[in-house]
Amino acid sequence: MSRTPTAPPAAAHPVATGQPAGQDPQPALGPDPRTAYREALLELAAADHRVICLDSDTGGLEKTFGKQFPDRYINVGIAEANLMTVAAGLARRGFVPYVHTMATFATMRAGEFLKLDVVGNRLPVRVIATHGGLAAAHFGTSHFALEDLAVTRALADLAVVVPGDPRHIGAATHQLHELSGPGYLRLGRSATPVPPGPAPEFRLGRARVLREGADVTLVAAGPLPLLFALEAAGELAADGIEAQVVDLHTLHPLDREGLLTACRGRAGVVTVEEHRPQGGLGDAVAEVVSAELALPIRRLAVRGRPGLRVAGQRAALEQLGVSTGAVVDAARHLHARTTAAR
Amino acid sequence: MAVPTTSPPRPPDPAHPAVEADHSAAVPTTPLDPAQMARRIREDAVRMAGGPEGAHVGGSLSCADLMAVLHAQLLRPGDSFVLSKGHAAPALYSVLVQLGRLPAEELDGYTRPGSRLFGHPSHDLPGVEFATGSLGHGLGLSVGLAIAEQLRGGDRHVYTVLGDGELQEGSVWEAALLAGHRKLPGLVAAVDRNGLQITGGTEGCVGLEPLDAKFAAFGWEARIVDGHDLSALHEALQPSPAGPVAVIARTVKGRGVPFLEGRVAGHYAKLKPDLVRRGLAALGQPVAGGTS
């Protein structure tokens, strides 16, 4: 099968830098996640005739994929259960379906169809789930997806990927395509900031270490959690606490060795995610770390009841307990605890 | 356009270890007698209902003639079959044995520890493309198979058997809308219209009639047929090149076993040995020796 090499996504997406005068400089925004994904999908479709695009009337694909590959674009309508079953049928006949809906509909509304028909048969369906976490922001609680990682992790045979660096969406899409079984790609809705500092390449199933530090380990999944972890590492360094920062973008299959290496010898682990504390990144990390290392693990996740007052994605996340400050506090606490014990 | 005709091999993938069984639908290698196949389906279903856990015997007996006509006469190599009403697994298992896809002795293991034969068809059973038993999946799966065939430009047929109570699942109608919209050729959805569900009649629970009009309104050709008339079924189950066909097969739940016919309690029954003997006798089986 011919493959299109993955182009460096950063070059394809000029970074938006416009800032209103008189404000503090903000981190530069990365590419729009859906645009970045669609470009990768078009490359895959051009290189692999088995790729077929199933839409549930999400808007946008009809003008991109649908224009370029009209015979391989099927809009099943606003019918997410049917989206999964039809994809399973097509995959059984040799197609590689890319199905498109929002994360909450993919995993909750159509969850049982995903479980039985797609994952149960280990069919090569790729579920492209946008509006992950609180990315829907002003749309409100119906469009939030704070349980999808628990559901997809529990399905066990499904590769689960949450790109932390928006510039890696293309690489994640291309690498997911290589799998023989099903995959879940969690994307946001709008552009999020590009993480500062070095950007090691994306390798599916391999944790990325963005910053080395011997005192505590910060493990993040998703763009805003990763940004919070990196910002927190900067603040902690000013206090003399060196934090190891890990982008654990692939929740299944999980990079056990990479994770353990990043945590071993530190005072503790702080996990940061845009998800409920139940079943997401924190649980995945705890499962691995607690089996091998005697380390405390603090889980920063969305607690409380989201969607009561309108807020932007970052503000909503911060209000619900996931913020740079919360990461700093948790890491300081873990560090002080160990220092006191010495 | 170039579309795949078979599943090409894929590279090894550590996240998804390979599992393989021949999932293709069971088809006759030589023409079979549907009456004989139907009778054996009924006998096997009654025997399985005599097993340790009982069985969904009523709905297996009601669709026996439908299953027999499909598997003895209509399915050709390359065609697809999805048992959407997965609780009629005893009927399917009997068919798989009769068509040589399962050894006959496996039926004795039905729902017993170690057996592949669960109360609903599981993943990776030969001749079974999709595990079913959760209602409302089979039509969408069949629509996916039929779209693949439509894109391929082939003429392989896709058959599915649904329960009538199952039609209360909304996902059935999502799939029906799409099939009608795409005018899917070669797709036949047969409804085992026995009129009963667990709590009683379908019309007293959440009514389905007029059922033919519903399918017709969704862009299907709807045909009503006596679901126990083998030659009428053979005619009604013919696919159409013009679009999807819904066959509303009027049946009797528990058909062929008098003490189960039309009985709500026959939906799921665990039959004691004497009832198994009586059932087999009613089906014309000589009463000889014990039962499983």
Instruction: Work out how many domains chain B is built from and give that number.
Output: 1
Q: Is the pLDDT of residue B21 over 90?
A: no
Backbone conformation region of residue A199, classed left if phi is above 0, alpha if psi is from -120 to 50, else beta = beta
pLDDT of residue A2: 37
Provide the domain count of chain A.
2
Q: Bridge-partner residues for A80, per DSSP?
A: none
pLDDT in tens, A45-98: 999 999 999 999 999 999 999 999 999 999 999 999 999 999 999 999 999 999
| Most A CBs within 10 Å, among B81, B134, B152, B171, to test the A interface | B171
Q: What value does the mean pLDDT of chain A take? A: 92
Q: Is the pLDDT of residue A268 over 60?
A: yes
- What gap in Å lies between CA A253 and CA A271, rounded to an integer? 18
Residue A296 lies inside a defined structural domain of this protein: yes
Evaluate whether residue A76 is within a structural domain. yes
Res A9: pLDDT:
38
The predicted pLDDT at position A23 comes to 46
Residue A31 phi/psi, 5-degree rounding, is -70, 155
Whether residue A45 is found in the same domain as residue A142: yes
Does residue B58 form part of some domain? yes
Higher pLDDT, A5 or A43: A43
CATH value at residue A288: 3.40.50.920
Alpha-carbon distance B184 to A89, whole Å? 14
Confidence of residue B227 (pLDDT cuts 50, 70, 90): very high
Dihedral over Cα of A61, A62, A63, A68: its sign:
positive
Q: Which of B11, B16, B141 sits opposite A89 (nearest CB)?
A: B141
Residue B287 lies in a domain: no
Distance CA A40, CA B36 (A): 55
* Domain contains B200: yes
**Whole-model pTM?**
0.89
Name residue, tokens 């890696």. Answer: A168
- Identify the CATH number of the domain in which residue A107 sits: 3.40.50.970
pLDDT for B286: 56
Instruction: Give B47-101 pLDDT, tens digit per residue.
Output: 999 999 999 999 999 999 999 999 999 999 999 999 999 999 999 999 999 999 9
Residue numbers of the domain that contains A282: 208-341
Q: Is A60 on the interface with B (CB under 8 A)?
A: no
Give tens-digit pLDDT for A271-312: 999 999 999 999 999 999 999 999 999 999 999 888 888 999
Report whether A143 contacts A190 (CB < 8 A).
no
| Mean pLDDT for the stretch of residues B201-225 | 97
pLDDT computed for residue A25 by the predictor = 57
Residue B231 one-letter amino acid: S
Query: What is the domain range of residue B124?
Result: 34-282
In DSSP terms, which residues pair with A217 in a beta bridge? A244, A269
d(CA A186, CA B114): 39
pLDDT in tens, B95-140: 999 999 999 999 999 999 999 999 999 987 999 999 999 999 999 9
Which pLDDT score, from 0 to 100, does residue B18 have?
47
Helix (H) or strand (E) holding B201: strand B200-201
Residue A306 belongs to a domain: yes
Nearest to A271 by CA among A235, A318, A212, A217: A217
Convert the pLDDT of each residue in A145-182 to its tens digit: 999 999 999 999 999 999 999 999 999 999 999 999 99
Residues of B with Cβ-Cβ distance to A122 under 8 angstroms: 16, 19
Residue B253 has pLDDT above 90, yes or no: yes
Do A178 and A216 reside in the same domain of the chain?
no
Interface of A with B in 220-239 (CB under 8 A): none
Q: How confident is the model at residue B285 (pLDDT cuts 50, 70, 90)?
A: low
Bridge-based pairing state of the strands A96-102 and A269-273: unpaired
Burial category of A77 from C-beta neighbours within 10 Å (exposed 0-12, middle 13-18, buried 19 and up): middle
Angstroms from A231 CA to nearest CA on chain B? 33
Tokens of A317: 């996340």
Structure-model confidence comparison of residues B284 and B38, the more confident one = B38
Exposure string for B91-119, b = 16+ CB within 10 A, e = fewer: bbbbbbbbbebbeeeebeebbeeeebbbb
Instruction: Please state, in angstroms and rounded to a whole number, the distance separating the CA atoms of residues A103 and A130.
Output: 5
Q: What is the 3-state secondary structure (H, E, C) of A80-115?
A: HHHHHHHHHHHHHCCCEEEEEEEHHHHHHHCHHHHH
- A contacts of B146 (beta carbons < 8 Å): 89
Pick from B91, B97, B89, B101: which is nearest to B24 by CA? B101
Classify residue B26: in a domain, yes or no.
no
Q: Are residues A226 and A181 in the same domain?
A: no
pLDDT at B275 over 50: yes
Which element (helix H / strand E) includes B200? strand B200-201
Mean pLDDT of the residues in chain B = 92
Residues of A with Cβ-Cβ distance to B2 under 8 angstroms:
49
Judge whether A50 lies within some domain. Answer: yes
Segment holding B188, helix H or strand E: strand B187-193
pLDDT tens digits for range B2-13: 445 444 444 445
> What integer pLDDT is reported at residue A340 of this predicted model?
82
Describe the crossing of helices A169-177 and A33-47 by its angle, rounded to 10 degrees. 30
Q: Per-residue pLDDT for A26 more than 70?
A: no
Which of A238-242, B20-24, B186-190 bottoms out in mean pLDDT, i.e. has the lowest? B20-24
Shortest Cα distance, chain B CAs vs residue A179, angstroms: 6
Residues A46 and A181 in one domain: yes
Report the Cα B168 to chain-centroid distance in Å: 18
Chain B window 102-131: which residues touch A at a Cβ cutoff of 8 Å?
123, 129-131
- CATH number for position B101: 3.40.50.970
Q: Evaluate whether residue B184 is within a structural domain.
A: yes
Average pLDDT over residues B198-215: 97
